Amino acid sequence: MLGDDLISYVGRRDVQQAMHPEIHAELEFGYDQSMQSTAAEMLDQIRIFGAHQQEWREVDADIVAARDQYARIDTPGAAELQKAASFEVAACDAMWQGEWPRALELIRQILDALRGGRAPQRYAALWHYLGYCLAQRIANQADNAEMRAAATKFMATPTPPLAGPRGCPNWPPPRRRRLPPRNRRPWICSINRPCRACSPTR
């Protein structure tokens, strides 16, 4: 995830709230500086950051002080996703090794871990699909009626409808202040190419 996708992702409030308070403070500082500085001023700030001398230490102290106003808030579904993570790694390893029955059992444990909230259910749909594929594969190899029934069950499990155009319950993201078009200046957002947010053509 690079370029504009990365900028859009870290600019979301729910993503920032889930970060460590100091990282949250750094992002807020960077956003404020990019909106209030000219291209020449931004290049000078990059020079100060690269030198890491007294000028930067003063700025860094402000960022550290600002972190106290932020508290980390887990996003909905974070606990379920964390609980499922170890099973996901084991399931991927089992599939890679061709251990289909073991992978199928691990997928069942993943789906058990993801139960409990609406937020992780769209992600759980992926594992329902993988469970269907594995159960169907085992059924075809051994002509196993029980596995065919299991495959049908995986595909029959409903998932919540999408909550927005991108399937995100927080879409659209909150609008943030922007400078008037005449005051925007190109910045080195994407390797010497102005990004869509600060391009003078917009």
What are 149-200's pLDDT values in tens digits? Answer: 988 888 886 554 444 433 434 434 445 444 444 444 443 343 344 444 444 4
Cβ neighbours of residue 70 closer than 8 Å, sequence gap 6 or more: 17, 21, 24, 25
- State both tokens at 166: 């991108």
Q: Burial-class residue 154 by CB neighbours within 10 Å (0-12, 13-18, 19+).
A: buried
Residue 39's pLDDT is 82
pLDDT in tens, 57-85: 888 888 888 888 888 777 778 889 889 99
Check residue 182 and give its pLDDT.
Answer: 45
Q: Which of 47-61, 83-97, 118-132, 171-185 is the most confident on average?
A: 83-97
Is residue 88 scored above 50 in pLDDT? Answer: yes
pTM for the model stands at 0.54
Q: How many helices and strands in the chain, by DSSP H and E?
A: 9, 0
How does the average pLDDT of the chain come out, rounded?
76
The predicted structure's pLDDT at residue 158:
57
pLDDT in tens, 3-32: 677 777 777 777 778 788 888 888 888 777
